[in-house]
Homo-oligomer: A and B are copies of this chain.
Amino acid sequence: MNDEQSRSRFTLARSARFASVDDNGDPHLVPIVFALVGDTIYFVIDFKPKKTTAGLKRLANIRSHPRVAVLVDHYDDDWNQLWWARADGRAVILDEIDPDALAALADRYPQYQQAPPGPMVAITVERWTGWAAVG
């Protein structure tokens, strides 16, 4: 898939996986729900942050190493149906919740019509990549 096709597939997904790198240089991987506004992916730290330590680790990772990856994929036992799309970019933790981004999140997830539990992360996508078994 080309850049635009990859970006387009990405928006079809209800959830994604967020990879960051910790201070040891090791990968850290969690699921996220997200909204794409232009070429920026927004998400809020944790669906339900039961452990603040986990959320804090993710924040520390982003601050010390802003390059991140976000993956969306579709699995089917018929491997002709497989596809995935990935966004590689730079993440920042916003000082305040971006109201337009929150509106985009609430539009996708009614749960976000209430104030989200944690800080908002914005990822400026620098590269879209994707693959589909059947083009």
Q: Contact: A29 with B25, CB < 8 Å?
A: no
In this assembly, does A26 line the interface, its C-beta being within 8 Å of a C-beta of chain B? yes
Complex partner residue of A31 from B47, B73, B77, B88, CB under 8 angstroms: B73
In this assembly, does A37 line the interface, its C-beta being within 8 Å of a C-beta of chain B? no
> What string of 1s and 0s marks CB contacts (under 8 Å) between A34-67 and chain B?
0000000000000110100000000000000101
Q: Shortest Cβ distance from A5 into chain B, in angstroms?
A: 15
Q: With the chains together, A50 CA to B19 CA distance in Å?
A: 24
Q: Which residue of B lies closest to A82 (CB)?
A: B47
> What string of 1s and 0s marks CB contacts (under 8 Å) between A13-30 and chain B?
011010111001111111
Complex partner residue of A19 from B27, B73, B79, B131, CB under 8 angstroms: B27
Q: Contact: A19 with B25, CB < 8 Å?
A: no
Contact A30 to B71, CB < 8 A, known contacts A21-B25, A131-B50, A133-B48: yes
* Interfacial residues, chain A to chain B (CB-CB below 8 A): 14-15, 17, 19-21, 24-31, 33, 47-48, 50, 65, 67-71, 73, 75, 77, 79, 82, 84, 86, 88, 109, 111, 131, 133
